[in-house]
């Protein structure tokens, strides 16, 4: 199959909506990507145009995304690009969607604490919420992050 895959770096523009469908759970949100350029003469950064994408994440990725992401957070989204046209209000419009294969926080802009999800039971239970496993009290990664964030 010749899918076009893309990797986008930007910010969550809308709240993540999660719902169950016949094909499994799906999370959807709008994602804003703004080009930034540095002016060599002044040394200042300026924002370019912002592009918006509708990102869909299915099954466990969708459930984990809905439990982990909020509006405004910086993300890296990798997935299949889908371009479609539709007629709305008598005008032809183009929409760009991404079916996410992987999503993560952009760690160039902050820190994150990863938590594994407990393995699901063999029998799927669509009404069940994702189960998060708490990190141990003395998790070395959490302790190292605290030292970095609170270091003078």
pLDDT digits (tens, 9 = 90+) for 124-146: 445 555 555 554 555 555 555 55
Q: What is the pLDDT of residue 1?
A: 66
Number of other residues whose CB lies within 10 A of the CB of residue 105? 17
134 vs 62: CA distance, rounded Å: 20
Q: What is the pLDDT of residue 2?
A: 83
Share of the chain above pLDDT 70, in %: 77
Q: Has this prediction a pTM greater than 0.85?
A: no
pLDDT single digits (tens) 80-122: 999 999 998 899 999 999 999 999 999 999 999 898 887 754 4
Q: What is the pLDDT of residue 144?
A: 53
What sections of 1-72 are H helices per DSSP? 59-68
Q: What is the pLDDT of residue 30?
A: 97
CATH number of 5-105: 2.40.50.140
- In sign, the C-alpha dihedral spanning 87, 20, 83, 108 is positive
């Amino acid at each position: 199959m010749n899918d076009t895959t893309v990797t986008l770096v930007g910010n969550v523009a809308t709240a993540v909506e999660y719902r169950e469908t016949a094909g499994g759970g799906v999370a959807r949100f709008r994602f804003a990507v703004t080009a930034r350029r540095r002016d060599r003469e002044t040394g200042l950064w300026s924002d370019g145009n912002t592009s918006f994408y509708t990102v869909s994440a299915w099954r466990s990725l969708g459930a984990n995304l809905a439990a982990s992401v909020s509006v405004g957070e910086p993300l890296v989204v990798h997935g299949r690009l889908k371009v479609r046209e539709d007629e709305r209000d008598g005008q032809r419009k183009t929409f760009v969607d991404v079916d996410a294969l992987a999503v993560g926080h952009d760690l160039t802009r902050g820190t994150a604490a990863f938590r594994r999800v407990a393995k699901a039971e063999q029998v799927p239970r669509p009404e069940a919420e994702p189960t998060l496993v708490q990190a141990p009290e003395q998790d070395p990664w959490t302790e190292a992050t605290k030292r970095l964030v609170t270091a003078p």
